[in-house]
Amino acid sequence: MVTALVCGIISLVFSLISYFVLWWLSIPGLILGIIAISSSVKYKKENGSFNGMTIAGLVTGIIGLVLGAIALIIYIISLVIIMMAA
């Protein structure tokens, strides 16, 4: 399913960009990761099995979701440390 693959790739890109440039891109990365995972699961329920694009969408969605969550946690911890130091 193309939706899962596209959302997974965009989630991965947003999550990786959030580490270096714009921290807030981890939030859309998280959302798109969830959409990719749910689209993959929905496809499997409807058709009984995964195809190549659906598996790729599931994997990239999971990786994007995890990286986005880690980035968001890092920035929240950094913000708390900065606030406590001030």
Residue 84: predicted pLDDT: 94
Which domain, by its residues, includes 19?
2-85
Give yes or no for residue 11 having a pLDDT over 90. yes
Residue 8: predicted pLDDT: 93
Give yes or no for residue 50 having a pLDDT over 90. no
Percent of the chain topping pLDDT 70: 100
Q: Is 48 left (phi over 0), alpha (psi -120 to 50) or beta?
A: left
Number of domains, the chain: 1
Kindly indicate the confidence band of residue 58, based on its pLDDT and cuts at 50, 70 and 90.
very high
How far is the C-alpha of 38 from the C-alpha of 79, rounded, in Å?
Answer: 31
Mean pLDDT, residues 55-79: 93
What mean pLDDT, rounded, does the chain reach?
A: 91
pLDDT in tens, 16-47: 998 888 888 889 999 999 999 999 999 999 99
